[in-house]
């Protein structure tokens, strides 16, 4: 699976993502789906694809989930989705 990332052009500096997770919004269980092991830095205005370790990590149980992208311990981006 790939995650498309677009970094805002108006950022003042580059950003490094540290980990990617799925959060089950009902149980609050968070599952790691990948990390930025090579510490790739993203520049303002950059658009890129990030490959996660598991080729298909999407949860199999129905429910509401959130994809979270972290830098250290801070959530920098998130997107909600449902599995039916």
Residue 44 lies in domain = 2-83
From start to end of 2-62, where are the E strands? 2-6, 15-16, 19-24, 30-35, 41-42, 47-51
Element (H, E) at 28: none
Domains held by the chain: number: 1
Residue 39, domain CATH: 2.60.40
pLDDT tens for the chain, 84 residues: list them. Answer: 788 889 999 999 999 988 889 999 999 999 888 777 767 889 999 999 887 776 667 788 899 999 999 998 999 999 999 999
Radius of gyration of the chain (CA): 13
């Amino acid at each position: 699976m790939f995650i498309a990332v677009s970094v805002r052009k108006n950022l003042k500096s580059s950003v490094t993502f540290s980990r990617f997770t799925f959060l089950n919004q009902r149980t609050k269980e968070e599952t790691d789906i990948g990390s930025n092991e090579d510490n790739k830095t993203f520049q303002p205005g950059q658009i890129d694809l990030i490959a996660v370790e598991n080729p298909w990590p999407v949860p199999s149980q129905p429910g509401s989930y959130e994809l979270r992208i972290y830098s250290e311990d801070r959530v920098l981006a998130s997107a909600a989705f449902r599995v039916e």
